[in-house]
């Protein structure tokens, strides 16, 4: 594997010659062995600026077509490359990332950017994949992560977060110093990488007018600049409030280096909103809040998150998010954004990933699939198809980079909404056409401004709009060397490849489409496949081609003027999904057939292609003129030349072989919770005897501070042991606690179970409730009411800290016990507390391991010797209150060259009240709550899941004793299977 050290590449958005040098680094960048990086050029610095239309990257107009990806939600650096290559191949030219402070900081002053937390490696991988990066390190991020990204140790700090409080600012500066040192070398501006933009804070909507907010923002601005961040900065306005526009706080005398951005998550059932040129305008109109900076949506809904119990999507889980924000939603909402002049568009999420360990905020469970275009198991979904169509259109039709609102136009059917825009420099006109009704509208015509004057389009027949659909009609653009009067098929791609110009035009299968081109001489039109008609008017020099979209219709036009011919590929959606472009040093290639084209390289007469198949697939390549042969993943492919000027493989590329998955057998079992026994030695535990706390939860009068955070226990389960003696007669004990969603506690007195309490499952109106409090009152059995020494043992699962979206220190609301009172007597209790260590596991990080006995003693780790444990088989049915562990090992042996994405599925009778924490090779990959759900399958990322090696799976089962508990059925499931993939290094 090559060391990527002092290398640079030219592989970014079309027309943008990006050259940069990746900083020298220790670690190796994971890269497919057979992908050789494009041309190496010396270090160069670049400019990143903007005007009111778009970004200007080295002076070139650049629209950002960006997807949100969180490195911390994919704990396997090899797979970063897989995700990034998939996005670049699918037409994205950028990604946006949050950087999660808590993930990198187990303790004040301690910052870790190694292993799965190697942000530099991620930024290098993004640069290598040819993607620009927007970085968003907070300090506050929200993002449905624990405490909105604030580290556990910050919950005990007195300074009010997200203000100009000096204690808080000192913490924030410490983080920014650390993270900016990693980011700065990867900035595009200094030739080291592709970081293009940097966000300050996130959705900061507090202290807008009291001077606190502006002082805080000014501080962040100055700090980030002082740390050597030179790219333009921006803030993400929560919705469209016009907050933190340029000029609203001090930028230390610097001007023109700060952008306004906002976010939005409109209901998919609403009419797509006009948050720019065509909207209400003004401060709350979206991009109109900042007329001199380009329209910028730092987040626009690409799905939505789901809560414990699944009320958000009626129990369907993320399939529900993907169904409601589907490909049709994407076309309607994202094209409406483009029509409104939004040139920087970031879809949140594009790969959601996994909130593994104790990452999930109270409002979400383990999976953060989000219904995104790339699913949690890294499969390309049908939602990528419109993204690729639009992304490649932005890349190859430069006129779209600068658009003004043009004269209003109306279609022949008033149910079709028309957005008319034009490019003031090139004279191109674009009509963004949307059918807001649910039924198909046919025979639609539209008056269109063309270089030949106003024309009613189409000339033959009419346009068709399936219900709730949207498309772009372009006039005055170029396809290769040729001028287009108009095309009713949406342009997707155009380039000069080899000896011809090639253009791809798309739409829905069954759409009649028409393109009108200028032709100075009499052209020869050859329909190579499918059916199409054409007519030429010698007097007007116009060539018209009509077809109905179905698969790929190929039309070759020889213009009879001695210049290169134009190959038109009319592709319906399904066909467009099989088309891929990649740059090579000798010019672009266009490939048809496989499930993915990751990269292409051409050297002399050969083109080397790297990619994936998910089934037996055609391979057809349009390549630079010198190319006469092709390889696929390193193997020569026999090809012949077609009438389309392509090389076509004589036989199909193979799909992936089937992947055998082992059954999970040979389980070992051990019981736990010695902490509940009266004789347990807790002398090494911390005394819980503080009298004051920085928490926003008041310490109840007469009680010691029992909040777990105050004793350094921030993630996972916490044990309490309360010792008391004295007067007899206590008849019941009341335990008050505070937790995130689905918190629970269990209590024992002198080793006897008293009972458990579970917070309720959120209804849809409680989906955003973050702190749940309850008091559980347990009667004390008569035999335990006597005088003498007693021990009250309590296990609390606090779940997660609240996010701090309101900038009111909500992340400092208590977790754990808050008060303990007795009826019938008032014994004085001395408390001890024990929880998980944030520093014990420096590889898996602070959020991996909680405070169960098994975790404290390494039962989750692959190295733990469980041979003395009892052998059992699953399913199990066992009624108990407490904690039990199950361990097994298995070998995962995928065939060579196959990317098999594997999950762990658990199921059982839904009335059974228990939960399981899932550890694979020591990595805490999620929490399963059998009677709550909705998640039953947990992704096991390759790299943590080791190929051709022993994998150790451990389940820590907590049961409340009210029903029999499992585990029930536990099995490996194949979630994705592709021939290809990227090389995987074990984590
Ligand atoms: C946004 C926020 C993100 C995330 C998102 C919902 O408002 O900026 O961090 O919380 O909502 O997924």
Q: How far lies 418's CA from each of 269, 378, 390, 973, in Å? A: 19, 36, 18, 47
Contact by Cβ (8 Å): 376, 369: yes
Taking residues 589-595, report their average pLDDT.
Answer: 98
| Residues 439-455 pLDDT 10s | 999 999 999 999 999 99
- Measured from the Cβ of residue 346, the count of other Cβ atoms closer than 10 Å reads 27
State how far the Cα of 598 lies from the Cα of 72, in Å rounded to an integer. Answer: 23
SS3 category, 400: helix
Nearest-CA residue for atom 9 of ligand 1: 143
Closest of 982, 849, 846 to residue 117, by C-alpha? 846
Q: Give the distance (Å) from ligand 1 centre to CA of residue 411.
A: 37
Q: Which of 149, 200, 299, 347 to mutate to test the pocket of ligand 1 (most atoms within 8 A of CB)?
A: 299
* Whether the CB of 363 sits within 6 Å of ligand 1: no
Atom index in ligand 1 nearest the CA of residue 298 equals 8
Q: Give the distance (Å) from ligand 1 centre to CA of residue 205.
A: 13
Please provide the average confidence, as pLDDT, over all residues in the chain: 94
Atom index in ligand 1 nearest the CA of residue 238 equals 7
* Whether the CB of 305 sits within 6 Å of ligand 1: yes
Q: Give the distance (Å) from ligand 1 centre to CA of residue 218.
A: 23
Q: Give the distance (Å) from ligand 1 centre to CA of residue 352.
A: 12
Taking residues 842-857, report their average pLDDT.
Answer: 97
pLDDT score at 728: 76
Report the side by side order of strands in the sheet with 969-979.
937-940, 898-907, 969-979
* Whether the CB of 202 sits within 6 Å of ligand 1: yes
Q: Give the distance (Å) from ligand 1 centre to CA of residue 143.
A: 5
Q: Give the distance (Å) from ligand 1 centre to CA of residue 300.
A: 9
* Whether the CB of 143 sits within 6 Å of ligand 1: yes
Q: Which of 37-46, 596-605, 829-838 has the lowest mean pLDDT?
A: 37-46
* Whether the CB of 201 sits within 6 Å of ligand 1: no
Q: Give the distance (Å) from ligand 1 centre to CA of residue 203.
A: 8
Atom index in ligand 1 nearest the CA of residue 143 equals 9
Atom index in ligand 1 nearest the CA of residue 236 equals 8
Taking residues 762-776, report their average pLDDT.
Answer: 97
SS3 category, 796: strand
Pairing of strands 60-62, 500-507: unpaired
Cα dihedral across residues 671, 677, 679, 684: positive or negative: positive
| Residues 531-555 pLDDT 10s | 999 999 999 999 999 999 999 999 9
Atom index in ligand 1 nearest the CA of residue 144 equals 10
From 297, 299, 312, 330, the catalytic residue: 299
pLDDT score at 18: 39
| Residues 649-705 pLDDT 10s | 999 999 999 999 999 999 999 999 999 999 999 999 999 999 999 999 999 999 999
Atom index in ligand 1 nearest the CA of residue 370 equals 12
Q: Which of 72, 144, 199 to mutate to test the pocket of ligand 1 (most atoms within 8 A of CB)?
A: 144
Q: Give the distance (Å) from ligand 1 centre to CA of residue 142.
A: 6
Closest of 976, 238, 186, 173 to residue 612, by C-alpha? 976
Nearest-CA residue for atom 6 of ligand 1: 143
Closest of 571, 567, 592 to residue 582, by C-alpha? 592
pLDDT score at 534: 98
Nearest-CA residue for atom 5 of ligand 1: 143
> Is residue 267 scored above 60 in pLDDT?
yes
Q: Give the chain's radius of gyration (CA, Å).
A: 30
* Whether the CB of 299 sits within 6 Å of ligand 1: yes
Nearest-CA residue for atom 4 of ligand 1: 143
Q: Which of 98, 348, 365 to mutate to test the pocket of ligand 1 (most atoms within 8 A of CB)?
A: 348
E strand spans, 728-862: 732-739, 744-749, 752-758, 772-779, 790-797, 816-823, 830-834
Q: Provide CB contacts within 8 A for 785, sequence distance 6+.
A: 728, 729, 730, 731, 824
Q: Is 122 left (phi over 0), alpha (psi -120 to 50) or beta?
A: alpha
* Whether the CB of 203 sits within 6 Å of ligand 1: yes
Q: What are 639's strand-pairing partners?
A: 649
> Is residue 484 scored above 70 in pLDDT?
yes
Atom index in ligand 1 nearest the CA of residue 98 equals 9
Residue with the bigger pLDDT between 947 and 727: it is 947
pLDDT score at 45: 79
Label each residue of 453-471 as H, E or C: EEEEECCCCCEEECCCCEE
Q: Give the distance (Å) from ligand 1 centre to CA of residue 612.
A: 33
Is 855 an annotated catalytic residue? no
pLDDT band at 726 (very low <50, low <70, confident <90, very high): confident
> Is residue 306 scored above 50 in pLDDT?
yes
Residue with the bigger pLDDT between 726 and 553: it is 553
- Measured from the Cβ of residue 718, the count of other Cβ atoms closer than 10 Å reads 30
Nearest-CA residue for atom 3 of ligand 1: 143
pLDDT score at 294: 98
* Whether the CB of 263 sits within 6 Å of ligand 1: yes
pLDDT score at 778: 98
Contacts within 8 Å (CB) and 24+ apart, 120-123: 120/23, 120/25, 120/27, 120/182, 120/185, 120/186, 121/25, 121/27, 121/29, 121/77, 121/80, 122/71, 122/77, 122/80, 122/97, 123/182, 123/183, 123/186, 123/193, 123/194, 123/195
Taking residues 801-819, report their average pLDDT.
Answer: 98
* Whether the CB of 144 sits within 6 Å of ligand 1: yes
Q: Give the distance (Å) from ligand 1 centre to CA of residue 141.
A: 8
* Whether the CB of 142 sits within 6 Å of ligand 1: yes
Q: Give the distance (Å) from ligand 1 centre to CA of residue 348.
A: 8
Is 254 an annotated catalytic residue? no
Q: Give the distance (Å) from ligand 1 centre to CA of residue 305.
A: 9
From 68, 201, 203, 297, the catalytic residue: 203
Cα dihedral across residues 201, 206, 212, 215: positive or negative: positive
Cα-Cα-Cα-Cα torsion 572, 573, 577, 578, nearest 10 degrees, comes to -20
> Is residue 23 scored above 50 in pLDDT?
no
pLDDT score at 603: 83
What percent of the chain has a predicted confidence (pLDDT) above 90? 94
Q: Which of 98, 139, 141, 142 to mutate to test the pocket of ligand 1 (most atoms within 8 A of CB)?
A: 142
State how far the Cα of 834 lies from the Cα of 244, in Å rounded to an integer. Answer: 44
Atom index in ligand 1 nearest the CA of residue 349 equals 12
* Whether the CB of 101 sits within 6 Å of ligand 1: no
Q: Give the distance (Å) from ligand 1 centre to CA of residue 374.
A: 18
Atom index in ligand 1 nearest the CA of residue 142 equals 9
State how far the Cα of 84 lies from the Cα of 81, in Å rounded to an integer. Answer: 5
Q: Give the distance (Å) from ligand 1 centre to CA of residue 306.
A: 13
Taking residues 942-971, report their average pLDDT.
Answer: 97
281 φ/ψ angles, rounded to the nearest 5 degrees: 80, 180
Q: Which of 73, 97, 143, 236 to mutate to test the pocket of ligand 1 (most atoms within 8 A of CB)?
A: 143
* Whether the CB of 838 sits within 6 Å of ligand 1: no
Nearest-CA residue for atom 7 of ligand 1: 238
Atom index in ligand 1 nearest the CA of residue 263 equals 7
Pairing of strands 589-592, 606-612: unpaired
Nearest-CA residue for atom 1 of ligand 1: 143
pLDDT score at 30: 26
Taking residues 185-208, report their average pLDDT.
Answer: 96
Q: What are 487's strand-pairing partners?
A: 474, 515
Q: Give the distance (Å) from ligand 1 centre to CA of residue 147.
A: 13
Q: Provide CB contacts within 8 A for 359, sequence distance 6+.
A: 72, 73, 100, 103, 145, 146, 847
| Residues 373-402 pLDDT 10s | 999 999 999 999 999 999 999 999 999 999
State how far the Cα of 174 lies from the Cα of 802, in Å rounded to an integer. Answer: 22
CA angle 559, 565, 570 (to 5 degrees): 105
Q: What are 721's strand-pairing partners?
A: 793, 832
- Measured from the Cβ of residue 875, the count of other Cβ atoms closer than 10 Å reads 12
* Whether the CB of 750 sits within 6 Å of ligand 1: no
The rounded Cα 352 to chain-centroid distance in angstroms is 3
- DSSP state letters, 700-718: PTT--B--GGGGT--SS-E
Nearest-CA residue for atom 11 of ligand 1: 143
């Amino acid at each position: 594997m090559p060391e990527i050290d002092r290398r640079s590449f030219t592989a970014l958005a079309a027309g943008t010659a990006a050259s940069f040098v990746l900083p020298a680094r220790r670690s190796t960048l994971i890269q497919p062995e057979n992908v050789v990086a494009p041309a190496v050029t010396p270090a160069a610095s670049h400019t990143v600026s903007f005007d009111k239309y778009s970004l200007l990257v080295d002076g070139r107009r650049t629209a950002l077509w960006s997807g949100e990806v969180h490195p911390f939600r994919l704990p396997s650096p090899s797979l970063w490359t897989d995700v990034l290559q998939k996005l670049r191949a699918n037409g994205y030219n950028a990604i946006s990332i949050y950087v999660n402070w808590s993930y990198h900081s187990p303790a004040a002053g301690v910052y870790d950017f190694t292993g799965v937390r190697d942000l530099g490696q991620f930024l290098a991988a993004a640069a290598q994949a040819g993607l620009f990066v927007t970085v968003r390190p907070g300090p506050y991020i929200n993002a449905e992560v624990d405490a909105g990204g604030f580290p556990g140790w910050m919950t005990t700090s007195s300074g009010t977060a997200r203000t100009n409080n000096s204690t808080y600012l000192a913490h924030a500066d410490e983080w920014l110093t650390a993270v900016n040192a990693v980011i700065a070398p990867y900035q595009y501006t200094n030739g080291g990488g592709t970081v293009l933009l940097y966000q300050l804070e996130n959705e900061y909507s507090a202290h807008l007018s009291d001077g606190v907010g502006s002082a805080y923002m000014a501080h962040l601005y100055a700090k980030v600049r002082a740390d050597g961040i030179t790219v333009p900065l921006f803030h993400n306005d929560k919705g469209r409030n016009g907050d933190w526009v340029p000029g609203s706080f001090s930028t230390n005398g610097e001007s023109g280096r700060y952008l306004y951005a906002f976010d939005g998550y409109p209901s998919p059932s609403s009419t797509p909103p006009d948050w720019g040129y065509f909207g209400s305008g003004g401060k709350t109109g979206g991009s109109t809040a900042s007329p001199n900076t380009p329209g910028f949506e730092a987040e626009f809904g690409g799905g939505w998150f789901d809560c414990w119990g699944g009320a958000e999507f009626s129990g369907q889980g993320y399939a529900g998010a993907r169904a409601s924000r589907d490909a049709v939603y994407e076309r309607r909402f994202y094209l409406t954004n483009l029509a409104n002049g939004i040139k920087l568009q970031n879809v949140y999420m594009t790969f959601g990933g996994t909130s593994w360990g104790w990452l999930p905020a109270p409002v979400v469970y383990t999976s953060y699939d989000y219904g995104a275009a790339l699913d949690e198991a890294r499969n390309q979904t049908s939602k990528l198809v419109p993204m690729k169509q639009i992304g490649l259109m932005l890349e190859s039709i430069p006129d779209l980079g600068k658009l003004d609102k043009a004269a209003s136009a109306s279609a022949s059917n008033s149910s079709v909404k028309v957005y008319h825009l034009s490019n003031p420099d090139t004279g191109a006109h674009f009509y963004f056409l949307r059918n807001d009704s649910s039924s198909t509208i046919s025979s639609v015509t539209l008056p269109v401004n063309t270089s030949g004057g106003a024309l009613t389009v189409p000339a033959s027949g009419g346009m068709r709009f399936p219900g709730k659909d949207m498309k772009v009609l372009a006039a005055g653009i170029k396809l290769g060397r040729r001028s287009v009067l108009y095309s009713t098929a949406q342009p997707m791609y155009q380039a000069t490849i080899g000896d011809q110009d090639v253009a791809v035009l798309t739409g829905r299968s069954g759409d009649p489409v028409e393109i009108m081109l200028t032709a100075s001489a009499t052209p020869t039109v050859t329909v190579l496949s499918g059916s199409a008609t054409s007519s030429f008017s010698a007097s007007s020099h116009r060539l018209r081609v009509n077809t109905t979209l179905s698969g790929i219709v190929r039309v070759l036009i020889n213009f009879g003027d001695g210049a290169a011919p134009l190959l038109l590929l009319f592709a319906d959606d399904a066909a467009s999904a099989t088309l891929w472009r990649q740059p090579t040093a000798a010019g672009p290639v266009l490939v048809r057939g496989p499930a993915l084209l990751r990269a292409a390289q051409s050297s002399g007469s050969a083109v080397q292609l790297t990619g994936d198949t998910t089934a037996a697939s055609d391979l057809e390549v349009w390549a630079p003129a010198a190319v006469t042969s092709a390889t696929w993943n390193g193997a020569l492919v026999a090809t012949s030349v077609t009438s389309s000027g392509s090389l076509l493989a004589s036989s199909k590329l193979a799909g992936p072989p089937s992947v055998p998955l082992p059954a999970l057998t040979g389980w070992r079992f051990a019981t736990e919770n010695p902490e509940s026994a009266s004789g347990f030695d807790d002398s090494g535990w911390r005394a819980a005897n503080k009298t004051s706390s920085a928490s926003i939860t008041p310490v109840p009068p007469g009680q010691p501070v029992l909040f777990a955070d105050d004793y350094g226990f921030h993630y996972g389960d916490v044990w309490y042991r309360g010792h008391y003696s004295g007067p007899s007669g206590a008849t019941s004990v009341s335990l008050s606690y505070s937790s995130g969603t689905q918190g629970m506690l269990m209590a024992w007195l002198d080793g006897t179970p008293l009972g458990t309490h579970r917070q309720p499952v959120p209804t849809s109106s409680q989906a955003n409730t973050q702190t749940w409090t309850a008091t559980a009152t347990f009667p004390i059995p008569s035999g335990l009411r006597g005088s003498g020494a007693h021990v009250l043992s309590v296990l609390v699962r606090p779940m997660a800290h609240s996010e701090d979206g309101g900038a009111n220190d909500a992340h400092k609301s208590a977790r754990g016990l808050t008060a303990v009172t007795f009826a019938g007597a008032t014994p004085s209790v001395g408390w001890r507390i024990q929880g998980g260590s944030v520093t014990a596991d420096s590889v898996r990080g602070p959020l991996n391991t909680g405070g169960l006995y098994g975790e404290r003693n390494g039962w989750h780790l692959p190295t733990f010797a469980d041979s003395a444990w009892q052998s059992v088989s699953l399913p199990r049915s066992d009624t108990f209150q407490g904690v039990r562990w199950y361990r097994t090992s298995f070998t995962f042996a995928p065939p060579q060259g196959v990317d098999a994405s594997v999950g762990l599925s658990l199921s059982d009778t839904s009335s059974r009240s228990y939960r399981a924490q899932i550890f694979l090779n020591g990595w805490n990959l999620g929490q399963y709550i059998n009677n709550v759900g909705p998640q039953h399958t947990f992704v096991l990322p390759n790299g943590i899941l080791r190929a051709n090696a022993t994998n150790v799976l451990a389940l820590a089962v907590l049961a409340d004793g009210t029903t029999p508990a499992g585990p029930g059925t536990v099995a490996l499931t194949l979630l994705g299977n592709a021939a290809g993939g990227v090389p995987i290094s074990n984590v």
